């Protein structure tokens, strides 16, 4: 489905460690002026979700959004202001 960079993996693992109950990583696309990745931690899957397992990380993506992540790379990189964010490249 997608490739997970080491920077993205480390950031996600750090977020999971600070979360009490969330074990699933939801990937979504913010559909505004720019297509940006939204990553949230959740405890349960929805009916229309697909689960993608990468090592010990469990990602969930709405089946209607899977095409945004197909054959892409999920990375955690700084934007032009120096703020780090998840991006699909």
Confidence of residue 44 (pLDDT cuts 50, 70, 90): very high
Domain boundaries, the chain: 2-88
Q: What is the model's pTM?
A: 0.86
Indicate if the alpha-carbon torsion angle 15, 12, 76, 10 is positive or negative. positive
Architecture, CATH, for domain 2-88: Sandwich (2.60)
Element containing residue 47 per DSSP (H, E) = none
Distance separating alpha carbons of residues 66 and 55, to the nearest angstrom: 19
**What percent of the chain clears pLDDT 70, i.e. is strictly above it?**
92
Please, is 75 exposed, middle or buried when counting C-beta atoms within 10 Å of its C-beta (0-12, 13-18, 19+)? buried
């Amino acid at each position: 489905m997608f490739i997970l960079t080491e920077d993205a993996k480390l950031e996600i693992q750090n977020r999971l460690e600070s979360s009490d109950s969330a074990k699933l990583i939801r990937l979504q696309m913010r559909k505004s002026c720019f297509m940006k990745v939204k990553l949230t931690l959740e405890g349960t899957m929805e009916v229309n979700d697909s689960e993608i397992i990468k090592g010990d990380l469990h990602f969930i993506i709405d089946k209607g959004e899977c095409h945004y992540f197909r054959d892409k790379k999920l990375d955690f990189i700084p934007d032009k202001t120096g703020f780090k964010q998840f991006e699909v490249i």
